[in-house]
A and B are shown apart, each in its own frame.
Chain A
C-alpha cells in the first residue's frame, strides 16, 4: 500500500491526457493509473469494504508479474516472510474430524459481499472448487492439483505418528498460508487471512490425512 500512495499522484484522467500526446510525453505510468482506477471504481458493500484492495508485498509482486514466474530470490524472500506467519496448533494436535472436513471442503461460501458475517463459522473451505478430493464427488475443479489419496500416496498410515510429522506439518502450513511454499500460489491463505480457525483447519487436515477419510479410499 505504501507504493500505492506514491503512485497515486497521477490521476487516471491526467495520465490519459498525457497518453493522448505521446509524442512529447514520457511513457504513461500504467501502474499508477491502475491503482488510482481500482480505488475509484469500487465501493464498500456489506462486509466487502474497499480496504480489501490493499495489497501486501506478496500480492503486489505477484500482480506485477502478470502470471510469469518471479525472480527466484524474490520468490524465496516472499515464501520466507509467509512461512513466519504459520502458527501451529496450540495443543500440538493436528487432526480433527474428516466428516466435518468433508462438509467444509464442499462449502464454497464465505467472505463475499452477500455473506452477512466474516466470522470463520460462516466460511467454507472451498476445496472442491479447485481440487479433486474423493472419488464420490465428480463435481470438482482443476485449478489446483488432485488431492485424491493425499495421505495414502504420502504413506501416512497414522497421522499422529512421529514418522508422519514432516508431512503433517507441511500440510498444516499449506492450508494456513499457501504462499509459504509457493510465492504466487493461487490458493487462499486460510489461516493467515483468518478465514478458517484452528478447529476448521484440523478437520480439513483429517480429510486429507486420516486413512479413514474418503480422500484416502
Chain B
C-alpha cells in the first residue's frame, strides 16, 4: 500500500534521477531539483573543485569576467561570466573573499549564448572569478578585482 509519505519519497527520487540525466522538466522544478550543497559551502577553490568533482582550473583569456572596478555598495555588485569558446557546459561566478566562494552556477545549453550576468553580494573588496566548465573536462577561469567602498555617512 502506498502511503502519502512514500509517494513524496518516490517522486523526489524520480526527480533526482531525472535531474541526473538532464531530463528534469520545469514543472517538476521543486524540492527534487539538483542542488550541490557542498559546492555552495566551499570556502576556497580547492574545496570547490572537490565538491564539483572537476579538474583544477586554469586561467584563460577566452573566458571573460565582467564587473565594476568599484562598487558603491557591496550588497549589489553586477557581475557576469562569458566565453567565446564552444562546448561550455557550465558558467560559475565566484567571490573569493565571501564566506562561501560560489555565488551562482548556470548550466549552458546550445539554445543560449555562453554569456550570463547577475548581481551578487560582496562583504569586502575581493577578486571575482568567472569559471567555465568545458565539455572536454577543462576548467577555465578569468578574474578581476572589485573594490567595495564604504558609502554614506556610515551611521
Q: Decide if A and B touch, CB cutoff 8 A.
A: yes
Binding site for B on A (CB under 8 A): 106-110, 112, 114-115, 124, 126, 128-129, 138-139
Chain A CB within 8 A of B149 CB: yes
User: B153 — which chain A residues lie within 8 A by C-beta?
Assistant: 108, 126, 129
| Bound-complex Cα distance A6 to B18 (A) | 81
**Does A124 lie within 8 Å of B149, measured CB to CB?**
no
User: B147 — which chain A residues lie within 8 A by C-beta?
Assistant: 138
User: B152 — which chain A residues lie within 8 A by C-beta?
Assistant: 108
Chain A CB within 8 A of B28 CB: no
**Does A112 lie within 8 Å of B149, measured CB to CB?**
no
The residue of chain A having its C-beta at the shortest distance from the C-beta of B149 within the complex is: A139
Per-residue contact bits, chain B 135-155, to A (CB 8 Å; 1 contact, 0 not): 000000000000101111111
Known contacts A126-B154, A139-B150, then 13 further A-B pairs from the complex at CB < 8 Å, ordered by chain A residue: A106-B150, A107-B154, A108-B154, A108-B155, A109-B154, A114-B155, A115-B155, A126-B153, A128-B150, A128-B154, A129-B154, A138-B147, A139-B149
User: A108 — which chain B residues lie within 8 A by C-beta?
Assistant: 152-155
| Bound-complex Cα distance A126 to B154 (A) | 8
Query: Closest CB-CB distance, A133 to chain B, in whole Å?
Result: 13
Per-residue contact bits, chain B 82-107, to A (CB 8 Å; 1 contact, 0 not): 00000000000000000000000000
Per-residue contact bits, chain B 112-155, to A (CB 8 Å; 1 contact, 0 not): 00000000000000000000000000000000000101111111
| Bound-complex Cα distance A128 to B152 (A) | 10
Query: Closest CB-CB distance, B63 to chain A, in whole Å?
Result: 29
Ordered nearest first, which 5 A-B pairs have the shortest CB separation?
A: A108-B154, A139-B149, A108-B153, A109-B155, A108-B155
User: A128 — which chain B residues lie within 8 A by C-beta?
Assistant: 150, 154
| Bound-complex Cα distance A115 to B152 (A) | 16
With beta carbons under 8 angstroms apart, the residue of B149, B151, B155 that contacts A110 is B155
The residue of chain B having its C-beta at the shortest distance from the C-beta of A108 within the complex is: B154
Query: Closest CB-CB distance, B70 to chain A, in whole Å?
Result: 8
| Bound-complex Cα distance A129 to B155 (A) | 10
| Bound-complex Cα distance A146 to B147 (A) | 22
Question: Among B149, B152, B153, which residue has the most Cβ atoms of chain A within 10 A?
Answer: B153
User: A110 — which chain B residues lie within 8 A by C-beta?
Assistant: 155
The residue of chain B having its C-beta at the shortest distance from the C-beta of A137 within the complex is: B150
| Bound-complex Cα distance A124 to B153 (A) | 11
| Bound-complex Cα distance A128 to B154 (A) | 10
| Bound-complex Cα distance A107 to B149 (A) | 14
The residue of chain A having its C-beta at the shortest distance from the C-beta of B152 within the complex is: A108
User: A139 — which chain B residues lie within 8 A by C-beta?
Assistant: 149-151
User: A138 — which chain B residues lie within 8 A by C-beta?
Assistant: 147, 149
Query: Closest CB-CB distance, A144 to chain B, in whole Å?
Result: 14
The residue of chain B having its C-beta at the shortest distance from the C-beta of A110 within the complex is: B155
| Bound-complex Cα distance A97 to B31 (A) | 56
Query: Closest CB-CB distance, A107 to chain B, in whole Å?
Result: 7
